[in-house]
Every structure is written in C-alpha cells, then in structure tokens.
Structure 1
Amino acid sequence: MEISLAAQQQQKLQLTPQMRQSMEILHMSALELNEYIKQQAVDNPFIELQPAKETPLSHYAGGAQPDWWQNVDLSGDATLESVLLEQLACMKLDRTALSLCSWIIGNLDDKGYLLHSKEELSAMKGIPLAQVCDAVSLIQSLEPYGVGASTLAECLVLQLRQQQESSLLVYSLVQHDLVSIGQGKLKQLADKYETELADIKAAITVISTLNPKPGALYSREKPQYIMPDLALRQLEGKYEVILERSSLPTITLNHSYLSMLEQNPSKDVHRYLTGHWQAAKGLTDSIERRKATLLRTAGVMFEMQAEFCRNGILHIRPMTMKQVAEALRIHESTVSRAISHKYIRTPWGLYELKYFFASSIHHADGSMVSAIYMKERIRALIAAEKRESPLSDQRIVALLAGEGLLISRRTVTKYREQMNIMSSAWRKRSLK
C-alpha cells in the first residue's frame, strides 16, 4: 500500500460577518429593519437618522452581474425551514432529491402545511408526480411530526403514526369525523361506531394531545401592523415600482467622530472609533444592497404582471420564483428572501409580494391561469348561487369546466376553505 501527499486547489465561499448581515437585512420586513436601524443608531455614534426619501426604480440592465451574496443559499436560525433542512443534511440524499425537498420545504406555510397540492407542485416544478410524492413522504418523516400535510386530518394522522399506540377508533375519528367532533355530536359518533360514549371521549382526549399547527413553534411573531416597502405608481402612462417614502429612515454618517481618528488618539479610542465606523459603513452598504435587490426583483415581477398593473387582481398571471431568478440571474433563494414579509401598495390594494407567486391551473385551450383567478371565479359563483340550493364543490367543478377551466373537486374544496367559505351543506343549513 502506497501513501502519498498531494496538493489540491478548491474554491470555497466563506461568509464574513458583513455578508451574513447583508443576508439577514434582505430577509427583514420594513418594520423589523426599522427597529434594527434605530437600535444600531443608539449603539453607534457614527449613525444619525434622517427622514426617508422616495426613490424611483432604477432601470434593470439584463446583463448586469449580481453581487456575490445574491447567489448564497443561507438558512436562517431557529426557523421551521432551518430545522427541517438540518435534518435533511444528515440524510444520504442525492443532489436532485435534496434540491426538491428543500424547495418543497420552502413552500410550507407558517403552520407547517403544504401551500400547494402535490399535483400543483408537480406542475410548478415540471417533474413527475411520483417524485414529488416521494419527497413529501420524506419531509413528513421529519420533526416536528405532522409537517408536510395538506389537511388537518393528514397532519394529525402523521402524528398518530409516530405514537404507534393509537386505536383504530382514534384513526377513524381523525380521518372522517373531525367536523362532527367539533360540533359535539359525540352520541351520534358512539352510535356510528357501535361503541360506548366513554370510548369516544377517551379517543377525543388522545386527539386533543396532537398539535394541529406543528410548524407554529418556529413561526416568527407577526408585526402588529404592515409597513409596505414599495409602491406601484402610474407615471407618465406606465407603471413603475418605487420605494415607499416612509418605509425606512435614511442613515447619515457623523464625520466629526471620523476626524478624531486623524488626531492620533490612544489605541483604545482608535479601536473603538474604527470598529464603529466600519460597522456603520457595513450597515449602510447592506441596506443599499437590500434596496437595490428589492427594487430589481419587484421591477421584474411587475413587468411580468403588466396585466395586473393595468386591470387588477383577476389578471394576475402564473409566475414562479424560478422565472424571476433567471431573469435577474440570481439564486432562487435570494428572490424568496427578497419578497419575504415585503408588501407593496398598488392601485388595487395592499399586497404581500409572495401573493403574486400563485400556482397555475390548465385552461382547456392549453394556456394557464393563476390560482388567484380560480379562487375569484369560485367566490363569484358562490356569491351568485341561489341561497336555497347552494352549489356543491362538484357542481362548481362542472361550471368551471364549462368555462374551459380544468380543476379537481379536491382543489375547489381547498380553495374554498382557504377563502373561509363554508361548504354547501353549511351554507344551506345557515338559512334555517
């Protein structure tokens, strides 16, 4: 056996504190960044705050090269996403499976549920449904148990499987009778399962120990009010994205302290002033990067959503973060962080940027329409229904099919529930 030494060159990106700060500031909402800047101003004598000024959208040059940090895929700390990704990293997954699982994890809501059905995820990613199902099953095996579910029942069943002690009665109640439990129909459930009322109550006690929102443990506290970063305005016949005037305070640097460095101060004073000067410059640079990335990202988004700009919500077109990332030549995760917790004021109302990345539905003519459009059509059909004979979800499917809109009953049910619209049975019962 021969042992030899060989030198090998390897390129590796090391994240400096300044790089990490840039990533963290990009992810912050306007409200969070506002508070962060104020705290930095208290701690740093070089930082002085001035009222914010409105900034027009800079023209995006398609050939411009992005900064290094826009292509860094950096996970935050103590979030549901980071907890799940950390577990994935311990598994022996190939690059394709790891990438798909990471992308699906990014499509979980704050409660840990899938934002889209497996079929929609398959269509959005352009990969076989079986591959998506395998990735979702893998995610569902991670802790906290119950994440990656599409419905409350599925979330609870995933947790029951981990306990391995629950009876068939508990499983059946979770899968078929959560509504009846919520309505307090315990006697009817006892008759249905031909068992004692005490058994039903004992099963419900087991169910009550489960967590209906497994991802909520890692959810960030939501701000009490919204401070939009951006505004969509019509200027000289065309729509442009600009920074909101009151979004962020403007930082100015106090040069009087800088002049003290030229007076040969002691080592301690020199170290103190140099450190705070560099911190102040780093903060302003990170904020400028955030502004530039946010404006460029939103600029491309609303170029793609030109019909929305002119005509409103029903004209939102299908759009993915991947499309925006490719147009900007940056990492998809940078788009995700740039739009996270960011809001824009438009002529049609106030919207979170993430709202515009809706899944798409096939039209009979082969074109695609956004899920937002489908929800509005469902809402309109229900609003126009006869109150004494409300439309069932299957009837809504048939009516939409008549318009050339192809959608499953399950998806109609999901969209209806997301809009907090009760079932046809409930709507009919409310008349009594």
Structure 2
Amino acid sequence: MPLHVSLSQKQQQALTLTPSLRQSISILQFSSAELNEYIKDQIQTNPALQLEAAPSYDRESSWSNTSAAADTYDKMVSEESLTEHLENQISLLSITPDIRAALYYLVGSLDDKGYLILDRLHAATSLRIKSEKLDDAIAILQTLDPPGIGARDLRECLLLQIKSADSLAHKIVNGHLGLLAEKEYELLSTILGVELSVIYEAELQIKSLHPYPAINLHTKPTHYIAPDVILRQTDSDIHIIVNQTHLPVVKLDPSFSSMLHNDSSNEVKRYAKASMHAASQLIKGLEQRQQTLYNITKEILAFQPDFFKEGTTSLRSMTLRDIASAAQVHESTVSRATSNKYLQTPLGLFSFKELFSKGVSGANTDAFHSVHQIKKKMKELIENECKSSPLSDQKIATLLQKHSIAISRRTVAKYRMELGFEDSRNRKEK
C-alpha cells in the first residue's frame, strides 16, 4: 500500500502556561514554610525586590450566629523522639486493646520532664475503662524505658529507679526525702538506726538517679505549624484573617524605577525592566494567594456553620466542587489553595483537608451524610446499647439504615475501630 505525505492545518484551543501563571500556581500551592523559603530565594536573586517592615494583614469578614470556645491560637504540633521511643516499646507488648489504647493516651499526657500529668476521672471516662485498668496501664508505663517515666512526682520517680524496696535508699526516698534534702544526716542515722557512713552511701546512690527521666533522652527539634488562616471569635462574629505575619514582606526597590528614566544604556534598562517585571509578578502572586485563601475560607464557613458550635462531629458532606462552585473558581484552584494549609479556629488547629468529605448517600433519600456525622451516630448507638447484649456491626448497619445512612457492615467495623470501640463480643459485660 503506497504511503503519502501531506501538509494540513488544524485549529484548536490549548492552554499555555506562561512563566507568571506557573509562578502564581506554585505560590498558591506552597505551604507556609515552602513559601517563606521561596520568597527569600527571590529576594536573593532579584535586586528589584526589597524587604519592608511587616504591616498588619488582617482581612476580616463577619460571620454571625456562631458560638465557639475561647481562643487557642497558641496550639502547635510537635514531634518528639520520647513519644516515638515509648510507642515503639508499647507496640511490642502483649496486652489487651483497651490497655494498649490507655498506654497511648498516657504517653500523650507526659510533660517534657517525663512526669505523668493526669486527671484520672477524665482519663477513665475518655478511655471508657474502669479505674483499675487505668492503674494497670500506669504500672506498665512505669516499667518502660527511660527509668522513672510516668511518675507523678519526684518521690515516685526516684522510687521507680531503685530496684530493691528493702534498700536504705528506698526507705530514705519513701519516708525521709525532706530530711536528706536538708542534710539532716545525724537525725536520719538515729531514725533509721544505721551509721552515718551508710547514710552517706545511700545519699550517693540517690544522687545518681535522674529526677527528670526525659531530660537526658535526645529529642528532635520541635516543628511548629504556622496557620495559614486564623478565625478570630468576637462577641457575635467570626473574622477571617489570612496569616502573613510569618512571611517576609516585599516591595519594589524605587532605585530600579529610576534606571528606566535615567540616561542608562539599553542593556541596563532591559535588565532593570525584566527585574521589575519579575518582582511585580511575585507581589501580584502573593496578593492573589491571600485573596484566594480568604475567599475559599469564607465559602467553607458558609458551608459549615455548625462546625464552630460542635466541632468535627457536625461537619457536613463537602467536596472541592462545592467550594469551587461557591467561590466561582476551578476545583484545582481549591485543591491547591487547601493543600498543606492549616486553619486556626477557636476549637483548635485543623488541616483544611480535614474539613472535606464526600459523604455517604442516604438510603431512599437524596441526603448526604459526612463520615464525621456517621461516626457521631455510631458512637451514640454504641454508648447507649445494652451492655449485656451489645450491638453487632451488622445490627449497627441496620440501625443506621433507619436513619437514612446506608453503609456496609465492613464499613461499620472500620469506623468502629477508628472510634476506639472493640467488637460486640469484647464489649459485652456480664
């Protein structure tokens, strides 16, 4: 079959990403830390940019009929090797799921020194376990490395590190630590019926113990999350503030503008013009990022008014398309604007992505239920069940259908485990 080569013209539309458009997309998608580094790099490479003192960047929008808890804008997320060190040990233990859950809870209740700061009643209620089991979990925690971890006070911390309960050091710490601190050696010798030299030896042993078990454990630098948007509660409204305080503030260097009007060479003028154009595009991209974040947050507030009354349990089903339609932008713009971004609210710090959920279609209805709403309903069913005859996963699925929530037994089991509930067999109380 003969081959023929021919030329033809075809007209079609195509989107071309210009350098300025690519830059705007990148700026929108950058996390706060990434944007900070990007701006610093631009300042170093473009002499037309100049740093200036940071002004107040409050952009406010009233939102009525919303109540929330007190402001907690100092909340931050950190990662410490102490937590990892303890959780790795817990993962190797052969223990029941409720004790394991309690241990993870207790690890989260340790202070920087390794002491356990705990409200027993609140802890037992939150974990849904009896106080005896909470004591068992505390006892296990105090056997982990480093020695003394999980102590409630200095005396308990030192006692956990003394192996023999019959030793003189144990007796002094347990009943006479104050006398030792005041160096009442002769009085201790009389009370305990031992020679002074033995008291001195016991003191040396006690001084070798660590009063703060977590201090000598190497920790990673604390990583802070700077919120991209802050929601500030007033008496009747919530105001949106796009947080720019952690970013360098840039402006055009006026000296470059004068180069275009002075008797400079064409080469200098071209360089100055290119530098000023790049600087202007950066400043424009930063302003667009700020405006886009503001608009999208405003639409999320409009879509989720109950979230600020009850927290995540009241989140409605919300997709990128919902917010894109309301903000009159493309879905990809919403995706980029909310990627790696954090929202500081009066209820705490949240990732923007946490607020989105496709939801589950209602049984025989057009309603959609978010995962948070489904879990809230499941939690109510389990907490109100008959303890001697707890609900099976299939029974929970059947009851949810009566509330127009159609999910499978397998999905019920998944959500139940994420809520921290055991299966019906282990929940049964005799």
Gaps of 5+ in 1: 60-222
Letter aligned with residue 44 of structure 1? N
Compute the displacement of 1:19 (Å): 0.6
C-alpha deviation, 1:11, in angstroms:
3.3
% identity of equivalent residues: 39
SS at structure 1 position matched to 2:297: helix
2:354 aligns with: 355
Residue 35 of structure 2, aligned match among 26, 33, 36: 33
> What SS does structure 1 have at the residue aligned with 2:260?
helix
Distance 2:375 2:55 in 1: 38
Note if 1:249 corresponds to 2:248. yes
SS in 2 for 1:306: coil
Name the structure 1 match of 2:299: 300
Measure the CA separation in 2 of the matches of 1:36 and 1:384. Answer: 53
Cα distance, 1:398 vs structure 2: 4.5
2:13 equivalent in structure 1: 11
- Match of residue 136 from structure 1: none
Cα distance change of structure 1 residues 58 and 283 upon mapping to structure 2, 3 Å threshold? farther
C-alpha separation in 2, matches of 1:385 and 1:251: 60
What secondary structure, in the 3-state scheme, does the structure 2 residue paired with 1:324 have?
Answer: helix
Cα distance in structure 2, aligned partners of 1:386 and 1:266: 88
CA displacement 1:188-210 (0-9 Å, x = unmatched): xxxxxxxxxxxxxxxxxxxxxxx
1:332-411 to structure 2, matched below 5 A, reads 332-363=331-362, 366=365, 367-379=367-379, 392-401=392-401, 405-411=405-411
Shift, 1:260, TM fit:
3.2
Counterpart of 1:163 in structure 2 is: none
1:388-423 Cα shifts (integer Å, max 9, x gaps) = 987653344345456554322111233345x37375
Q: Which amino acid aligns with 2:344?
A: R
CA distance in 2 between partners of 1:2 and 1:43 (Å): 53
Return the letter of the residue paired with 2:374. M
Amino acid of the residue matched to residue 33 of structure 1? L
Contact 2:57 2:241 in 1 (8 A): yes
Q: In the alignment, is the contact (CA less than 8 A) between 2:379 and 2:419 conserved in 1?
A: no
Q: Distance in 1 between matches of 2:385 and 2:45?
A: 61
Partner Cα separation in structure 2 for residue 265 and residue 231 of structure 1 = 47
Whole-Å separation in 2 of the counterparts to 1:323 and 1:255: 44
Runs of 4+ residues deviating >4 angstroms: 1-9, 362-365, 379-392, 401-404
Change in Cα spacing, 1:384 to 1:40, as seen in structure 2 (3 Å) is farther
Report the CA distance between 1:52 and its aligned residue: 5.1
Whole-Å separation in 1 of the counterparts to 2:4 and 2:235: 75
Q: Is the 8 A contact 1:233 1:240 kept in 2?
A: yes
- Asked if the contact 2:306–2:315 (Cα under 8 Å) also holds between the matched residues in 1, the reply is yes
Quote the Cα distance in structure 2 between the aligned partners of 1:393 and 1:340. Answer: 35
**Aligned-pair distance for 1:386?**
8.5
Q: 1:114-129 residue pairs with structure 2 within 5 A?
A: none
Question: Is the Cα contact below 8 Å between 2:375 and 2:419 reproduced in 1?
Answer: no
Tell me the C-alpha RMSD between the 2 structures: 3.6
> 1:385 deviation in Å?
7.2
Residues 22-50 of structure 1: CA deviation (Å, up to 9, x unaligned): 11111111221112112212222223143
CA distance in 1, matches of 2:235, 2:59: 13
- Report if the CA contact (8 A) 1:22-1:286 is conserved: yes
Q: 1:346 to 1:3 in 2, by over 3 A?
A: same
What are the equivalent positions in structure 2 for 1:66-85 lying under 5 Å apart?
none
Structure 2 unaligned residues grouped into runs of 5+: 63-221
Give me the TM-score of the superposition, normalised by structure 2: 0.53
What do residues 237-273 of structure 1 show as CA deviations (whole Å, max 9, x unaligned)?
2334221253433222221233233323345543433
1:90-129 → structure 2 map (5 Å cutoff): none
Tell me the residue number matched to 1:55: 58
